[in-house]
């Protein structure tokens, strides 16, 4: 990639529709601009500032543990640190992620459907999945 090409990356976005069903889809984040970040160094691609997280915490998902159906407690960025984990939404879509693959959880307010509400998640394989959660005030995506 050249210095003139705007960078971007994919994020898995877990959200709920108007009917209260959770879904997930890949979003493309590319709100970077070439700017002087620190005086005296070459310009760098910098994303737009997002509101600061009120809470940053870590989870350790135990392999084989069933965490059951649940919603994200608040809108939150989920950053895998080590291991692999999965998210399965009410629409039947299952996504597995590892380090470098981000998810944004915004499925608050789902309706119960056949015992499911929100999403399932857990560690994949025999190793724990360590996740960093950055809880924020609102959903940065335009839908869901």
Domain boundaries, position 67? 9-135
Domain count, the chain: 1
Domain annotation covers residue 144: no
Q: What is d(CA 4, CA 98) in angstroms, rounded to the nearest whole number?
A: 29
The pLDDT assigned to 144 comes to 54
What per-residue confidence (pLDDT) applies to 1? Answer: 47
CB–CB of 144/13 below 8 Å?
A: yes
Give a yes or no: residue 4 inside a domain.
no
Domain assignment of residue 141, yes or no: no
Within a domain: 103: yes
Establish if 114 belongs to a structural domain: yes
85 lies in a domain? Answer: yes
Across 9-45, b (16+ Cβ under 10 Å) vs e yields eebbbbbbeeeebbbbeebebeebeeeeeeeeeeeeb
pTM: 0.76
Q: What is the CATH number of the domain that holds 124?
A: 2.60.120.10
Structural domain includes residue 94: yes
pLDDT in tens, 72-128: 999 999 999 999 999 999 999 999 999 999 999 999 999 988 889 999 999 999 999
């Amino acid at each position: 990639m050249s210095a003139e090409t705007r960078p971007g990356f994919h994020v898995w976005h877990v959200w709920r529709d108007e009917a209260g069903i959770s879904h997930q889809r890949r979003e493309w984040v590319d709100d970077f601009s070439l700017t002087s970040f620190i005086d005296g160094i070459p310009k760098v691609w910098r994303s737009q500032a997002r509101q600061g997280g009120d809470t940053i915490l870590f989870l350790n998902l135990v392999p084989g543990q069933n965490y059951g159906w649940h919603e994200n407690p608040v809108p939150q960025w989920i950053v895998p640190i080590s291991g692999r984990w999965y998210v399965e939404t009410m629409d039947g879509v299952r996504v597995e992620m590892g380090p470098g693959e981000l998810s944004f959880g915004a499925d608050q307010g789902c309706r119960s459907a056949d015992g499911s509400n929100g999403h399932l998640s857990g560690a994949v394989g025999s190793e724990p999945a360590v996740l960093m959660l950055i809880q924020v005030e609102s959903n940065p995506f335009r839908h869901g």
